[in-house]
Chain A
C-alpha cells in the first residue's frame, strides 16, 4: 500500500478532503464576517446562528412542504437574508454610533435567543438531512474514493467565495460598498443611500451564512448548536487572516481547514485546538494577522 510520511495514502487523502470541506465552511463564514465587518464595523456573533437557521429552514421546508435541496439552496438564504435585514433595520442600526463592542454583545444576545428558541422547539439532538439523489454515491478517482456530495460542496463554496469577491471588487454595487467602507459621509453626500447599503450588506452576510448552512446540512447533522461551536473557530480564523481583505479571509479559511485535516492524520488529539494554536503563533509573529492592514 502506498504511504506518505508513514501514513496510508488513503487515510491521508481522506483527511485532506475533510480538511478541504471544513475549510470551505470556514472560508464562507469568515468571508461573511469580513463583509459585514468591513462596512458595519460589527462582529456578527449571530453568524453561527444564521448558518444554523439556513440548515433548519432547509430541513423544515423539506419536512413540511416537501421542498427539495436545490430549491432550499435558493430559498433558505433568501429567508435568512430577509430576517437579517429586518434585524439590522429595526435594532442593529441603532448601535452604529457606539463602540463596536456593543454590536458584538447585541449579536451575541441574538445568537443565544435564536439558538435557545430552536433548542426549545426541536431539542438539542441533531436531525439528519439526506443527500440529494443526484449527488448520492461517489466517484472513484483512482487514488481515492470521493463522495459526490463532498466534491460538490468544495466546488460550489469556491464558486460562492469567488462570486462574492467579484461582486465586491468588480461591480458597481461593490464599488459603492467599498467607497462607503472608506468614507461613509462622503458617499452619502454623493446621494447614495448608505443606510440601505448597510441593510443590504448585513442581509447578504446572513444569506451567505445560511447558504453555508444548507450546504452543511447533509454532511453534519442539523442541530441548534451546530453554529456557535463553529463560529468560535471562525473567529480564530478571522484573527489569523485579519479582516482587511476579502480574499485573505477566503484563503485563510481554506488553509486552516486543511491544516486541521492534516493534524487529524498526524496527531489526532490536537485537531480540536490546532487552529487556536496557529492563532496564538500568528499573534506572536504578526499581530495584525496574515492579511491584516490594521495593527
Chain B
C-alpha cells in the first residue's frame, strides 16, 4: 500500500523552497476561495454546488486512502446513506436543514463504524472487496427499506430555513451554505491530518509493523480514520440531498464508489487539494457529456485505465513531482 500514497521529503529541499511552496499554496487557496465566492455570478449555482459536494466527498475519501493507505470501495454507502438520512429527517420529521445534515453525518458515522469494524480485519485487496460487498449489502437494504421509497427515492425534500432564519430555497443562500460547509469540511480534514492522530495514521501507512511495535493499537486508529472519513462523506451527501432536494439509489451504488475513487486518483491521492481538482474535472466532464448521447461510463472507464497506466500520482501529484513543482519546493511522492 505504501507506494500508493507515499510522501517523501526530497533530499535537497531547503527551508526557503518549502516556504515558497507554502506561500504558493496559501496564495492559491485564497485565489480559489475568492473565485468560489464570486463564481455564482458566472456559473450555474446548482452545478457549482454539485461540484462542491463531490469535492468534499473526494477529500473525505482521500483522508482514508491518502493518509491511512486503505482503499475503500464502498464509500457510496456513506455518501448516499447520509443523503437518505438527511432527506428523511428534513422531510418527514421537519427538522431544520443544519440538524438534518448533522443527522446525516451521524448516520454515516454509525454506518462507518459498523462497516469499518468488519473491514479492518483484513488488509489491502481484501479490505477493498469487503467494503465493496458491505456497501452493496447496504444498497440492497436501501432498495427494500420502507423509508427510502425504493426506486423512486425520497423526492421533494424541502431546503427549509437555516437556523430557522435564512431561507435556503433562495439559490444564492444555498450556495453560500454549501460553500461554508465545504470550507469547514476541508478545515476539519486539514486539522485532522496535521494532528497527532493524523501523524500516527501516516506512520501506520508507512510501516504498520513498526507502529504496532511502538505500542499503537493500529486497529483503533484505522477504525477512527474510517469513521472520520465516513462522517465527512456523510456531510457531503447530506448537503447534496438538500441541494438537489432528493435522495435516490444512484448515490449508494457501487458506480458511485468507483466515481469517488476516480476523482481522487485523477486529482492526486494523498494531496490535500488534488481530490478537489479531480472532482472538478469529473463533474465538469459528466456535465459536458450529459448533453450528448455518448455514455459517461465509457469515458470514466478509459480515464480510469489511463490514470492507472500513465499518471498514478494524479494531476496535482504529477505537478508536485515535476521539475517545476520540485523547484518551487513542493514535496513530491515517489
Binding site for B on A (CB under 8 A): 43, 91, 94-95, 98-102, 104-106, 108-117, 119-120, 228, 232-233, 235-236, 238-239, 269, 272-273, 276-277, 279-280, 283-284, 287
Contacts and interface: CB of A to CB of B under 8 A. Distances in A.
A105 B133 contact: no
Interface string B292-325: 0011111111111101110010000000000000
A52 to B, nearest CB: 13
B4 interface: yes
A95 B312 CA distance: 11
The prevalent SS among residues of B at the interface is helix
B132 A101 contact: no
Given A119-B295, A273-B141, A283-B118, A113 B129 contact: no
Interface of B: 1-4, 71, 118, 121-122, 124-126, 128-130, 132-134, 136-137, 140-141, 143-144, 254, 258, 261, 265, 294-305, 307-309, 312
A43 B131 CA distance: 14
B304 A116 contact: no
Given A106-B304, A239-B133, A101 B4 contact: yes
A101 B124 contact: yes
Contacts of A117: 298
A105 B137 contact: no
Contacts of B297: 112-113, 115-116, 119
B118 A280 contact: yes
B312 A102 contact: yes
Contacts of A280: 118, 134
A109 B118 contact: no
B125 to A, nearest CB: 5
A70 to B, nearest CB: 33
Given A99-B3, A109-B301, A120-B298, 14 more contacts: A43-B125, A94-B309, A95-B309, A99-B124, A108-B304, A112-B258, A113-B301, A120-B294, A120-B295, A228-B254, A233-B133, A233-B136, A239-B126, A279-B130
Contact of A116 (B121, B130, B301): B301
B140 A272 contact: yes
Contact of A95 (B141, B144, B296, B308): B308
B133 A279 contact: yes
21 contacts: A43-B125, A95-B309, A99-B4, A99-B124, A102-B308, A105-B308, A109-B301, A109-B307, A112-B258, A112-B300, A113-B298, A116-B296, A116-B298, A117-B298, A120-B295, A235-B132, A273-B141, A277-B137, A283-B118, A284-B121, A287-B122
Nearest to B305: A109
A228 B124 CA distance: 21
A109 B304 CA distance: 5
Given A109-B308, A119-B295, A104 B125 contact: yes
Contacts of A105: 261, 265, 304, 307-308
A270 to B, nearest CB: 9
A100 B298 contact: no
Contacts of B128: 43, 101, 104
Contacts of A106: 304-305, 308-309
A102 B3 CA distance: 10
Contacts of A109: 300-305, 307-308
Contacts of A101: 1, 4, 71, 124-125, 128
Nearest to A238: B129
Contacts of A276: 133-134, 136-137
A169 B2 CA distance: 34
A292 to B, nearest CB: 9
Contacts of A111: 301
A228 B265 CA distance: 21
B311 to A, nearest CB: 12
Contacts of B136: 232-233, 276
A114 B302 CA distance: 10
Contacts of A235: 129, 132-133
Contact of B305 (A43, A91, A239, A277): A91
B4 A91 contact: no
A108 B122 contact: no
